[in-house]
């Protein structure tokens, strides 16, 4: 039987993105395929579960939550396991919410039928310190837009205007209809960073792209 590696299971308020403030049950998958320079996710340990075991824990801990968030790390690295668990939660009436770095479109294709919400990180090279993922993001979004989908992109002091140009091109050339959440790097909160985000936001709005700025609430108020 397939087993999944899970780092944490906890209930909290959603601290990011368009569903900020809602009570969600979080399942943090172990492991990530990227190395974003601003990453502060602690993935030092994991427990192994069979799909049915994890499903039963989710049911026990739901405490009124109707939405289960599969987060990471990168949940799509364990797509066969994710599919098994998400199939069970969906059947029971949970809303399935996937938080993903948007780099694995083939894996998304395998689970999209079970997802209700896809929150995709758009990885800007001058934010992450890695190469761009625009090609993978394009294919990923084509699949994700079958469901309720929005984008989050972390903006750092190092983020350059050229990445925003590339993002606008991605939207224009592929008829993408999804809201963009610009998320200030929590380690660099400052007037300088907010001014930069405001400039980027106005550029995206001028292009007809629905855009807002939302900081990571859970880090500000100190909840997991």
Q: Which residues bind ligand SF4 (CB under 6 A)?
A: 32, 34-36, 39, 41, 72-74, 101
Please identify, using beta-carbon distances, which residue of 13 and 39 lies nearer to ligand SF4. Answer: 39
Shortest spacing between CB 56 and ligand SF4, in angstroms: 26
Please identify, using beta-carbon distances, which residue of 32 and 57 lies nearer to ligand SF4. Answer: 32
Please identify, using beta-carbon distances, which residue of 131 and 175 lies nearer to ligand SF4. Answer: 131
Shortest spacing between CB 205 and ligand SF4, in angstroms: 26
Before 98, cis peptide (omega within 30)?
Answer: no
Shortest spacing between CB 32 and ligand SF4, in angstroms: 3
CA distance 108 to 76: 7
* CB count in 10 Å sphere of residue 24: 22
Shortest spacing between CB 3 and ligand SF4, in angstroms: 21
* CB count in 10 Å sphere of residue 94: 20
Please identify, using beta-carbon distances, which residue of 51 and 72 lies nearer to ligand SF4. Answer: 72
Please identify, using beta-carbon distances, which residue of 42 and 63 lies nearer to ligand SF4. Answer: 42
CA distance 203 to 211: 10
Q: What backbone phi and psi angles, to 5 degrees, belong to 141? A: -65, -35
Q: What backbone phi and psi angles, to 5 degrees, belong to 59? A: -65, -40
Shortest spacing between CB 66 and ligand SF4, in angstroms: 25
Residues whose CB is less than 8 angstroms from the CB of residue 206 and which lie 6 or more positions away in sequence, other chains included: none
CA distance 171 to 178: 9
């Amino acid at each position: 039987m397939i087993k999944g590696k899970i780092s944490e299971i906890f209930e909290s308020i959603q601290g990011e993105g368009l569903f900020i403030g809602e009570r969600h049950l979080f399942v943090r998958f172990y492991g990530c395929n990227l190395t974003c320079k601003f990453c502060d996710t602690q993935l030092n340990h994991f427990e192994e579960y069979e799909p049915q075991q994890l499903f039963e824990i989710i049911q026990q801990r739901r405490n009124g939550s109707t939405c289960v968030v599969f987060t990471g790390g990168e949940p799509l690295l364990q797509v066969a396991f994710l599919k098994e668990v998400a199939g069970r939660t969906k059947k029971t009436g949970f809303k399935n919410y996937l938080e993903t770095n948007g780099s694995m479109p083939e894996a998304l294709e395998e689970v999209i039928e079970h997802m209700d919400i896809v929150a995709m990180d758009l990885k800007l090279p001058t934010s992450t310190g890695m190469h761009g993922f625009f090609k993978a993001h394009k294919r990923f979004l084509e699949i994700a837009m079958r469901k309720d989908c929005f984008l989050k992109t972390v903006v750092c002091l190092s983020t350059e205007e050229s990445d925003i140009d590339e993002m606008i091109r991605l939207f224009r050339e592929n008829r993408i209809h999804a809201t963009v959440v610009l998320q200030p790097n929590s380690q660099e909160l400052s007037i300088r960073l907010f001014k930069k985000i405001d400039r980027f936001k106005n550029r995206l709005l001028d292009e007809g792209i629905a855009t807002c700025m939302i900081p990571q609430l859970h880090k500000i108020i100190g909840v997991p």
